[in-house]
Amino acid sequence: MEATSESAPARPVAAARRRVRRRSTPTPWLSPGIFIGALVPLAALIWRTTQGTLSANPIAEIINELGLAALIFLVASLACTPLRWVSGWSWPVRVRRELGLFAFFYAVLHFLMYLVDQTFDLGIILEDIALRPFITVGFLALVLMVPLALTSTAESVRKLGYRRWQRLHYLAYAAGVLAIIHFIWRVKIDLSQPLIYGTVLGTLLLVRVAFWLRKRSESRG
């Protein structure tokens, strides 16, 4: 009888733990779905290039589309932690790395197509980076993303320590701000699209600040 009385409450506890695990575990199709979906912009560009349906300046259009994809994935990766805080879901943090790496992937392609547009002329490229502000800030955003991509592994977290790794990855917000400025200075006239992404990024920053202030207040109290 003692065994029965002890095992009875254990069963609902075990069931509750299984339910928690099921809620906290992302659906199995999420990561491969993101991977496949993230390649759609590139596949669409390749298809349109082969079909000859790009604009009169195809290289410029490809550069712009790749840059926009990089910005979208960067903002999406930055939204993961605030989304976890607000919703209580754990899956956004588990796909954050994948989104961030795709942001870097498209940013590199964006820059490579710019190099193609400049026929890999190092003199022109260096002059553009030094003298054209929108290229300067865009290049700085890409440079900031390099250490983030290189330290995106679990091994990097162990080597750096979580606190140092976390402080390093705050650079993602700086890269996002620079990318928005790059976008605004690039389009010049129709600012509606960059301002939308700028508003989203600003909102994410405010959520982070709000949670930081609340945590600080709770620790003092």
Q: What is the pLDDT of residues 142-195, one digit of tens each?
A: 999 999 999 999 899 999 999 999 999 999 999 999 999 999 999 878 899 999
Going along the chain from its start, the domains and CATH numbers come out as 29-220 (1.20.120)
Give the model's pLDDT for residue 3: 42
Cα-Cα-Cα-Cα dihedral sign, residues 186, 190, 191, 192? negative
Q: How far apart are CA 136 and CA 186, in angstroms?
A: 11
Q: Which of 152, 70, 59 is nearest to 107 (CA)?
A: 70
Statement: residue 83 has pLDDT above 50: yes
> For 4-13, 47-56, 178-187, 203-212, which range has the lowest pLDDT when averaged over its residues?
4-13
Statement: residue 214 has pLDDT above 80: yes
Statement: residue 134 has pLDDT above 90: yes
pTM, 2 dp: 0.84
Q: What is the pLDDT of residues 40-69, one digit of tens each?
A: 999 999 999 999 999 999 999 999 999 999
Give the model's pLDDT for residue 93: 85
Q: How far apart are CA 147 and CA 169, in angstroms?
A: 8
Statement: residue 2 has pLDDT above 50: no
Q: Which of 183, 57, 33, 206 is nearest to 117 (CA)?
A: 57
Q: CB–CB of 110/67 below 8 Å?
A: yes
Extract the tokens encoding 12.
């609902």
Give the model's pLDDT for residue 21: 44
DSSP 27: P
Mean of pLDDT values over 79-102: 90
Q: Which residues contact 144 (CB under 8 A, 6 or more apart)?
A: 171, 172, 174, 175, 178
